[in-house]
Amino acid sequence: MLNRELTSRERTLAIVTAALVSVSVLYLFALEPAAGRWREVSARLDAKEMELERSRRMAEAAGRIEGKFTGVFRSDLTVEEAVNGLMDEVRSLAGAGVRITGVRPAPPSREPGFRIAKAQVEFEGTIEQATGLLYGIEKASGVLWIERCQLSPAGAGSNLLRGTAIVCKATAGRDGVVSG
């Protein structure tokens, strides 16, 4: 039976079947793995492009932030100038109602690359005014904060508070080196 001659119809079916099997094997072992690899590389490329775009946006934002704080982080300030600037900033934040009863420099501290100017601020006001001043100092900028605060009644039967706060401000050291 295998030795007999194939009719033209059987020969056509055998050729079509062989062609279909050949195409299926070629697709299964050559084209599909290549297409899968192509999709994988394309997905990685898209992810890297998105990451690059996000990094560009972050770099632009960092430039804007750096520009905003350039005046704050001046490296040519002496300790006295930095403390005087801090005291002026606190006085401007006091607003109406809070009475600043005393502002004097506190000893500065040092961090790598930064000077921390400090001032001891004494103030008087109602609880709303005092907390408004403290909130204003904390929210003024990223380089101004309160290290320590103490509040007490101004006197018996008084609705005023008397407070003392150590207010700090970070400034850059000269030429990137901390100076005293």
Give residue 64's pLDDT: 66
Domain boundaries, the chain: 1-68, 79-176
Give residue 118's pLDDT: 85
Pairwise CA distance, residues 46 & 5, whole Å:
58
Give residue 20's pLDDT: 94
Number of neighbours of residue 134 by Cβ within 10 angstroms:
20
| CATH numeric code, 79-176 | 3.30.70.60
Cβ-Cβ contacts under 8 Å for 130 (sequence gap 6 or more): 98, 123, 151, 161, 163
**pTM beyond 0.85, yes or no:** no
Pairwise CA distance, residues 127 & 98, whole Å:
10
Helix (H, G, I), strand (E, B) or coil at 164: strand
In order along its 180 residues, the chain shows pLDDT tens digits of 455 788 888 889 989 999 999 999 988 898 898 888 999 999 999 999 999 988 888 887 776 666 555 554 555 566 677 777 777 777 777 776 788 888 888 777 766 666 778 888 899 988 888 888 888 888 876 677 888 999 998 888 888 889 999 988 876 654 443 333
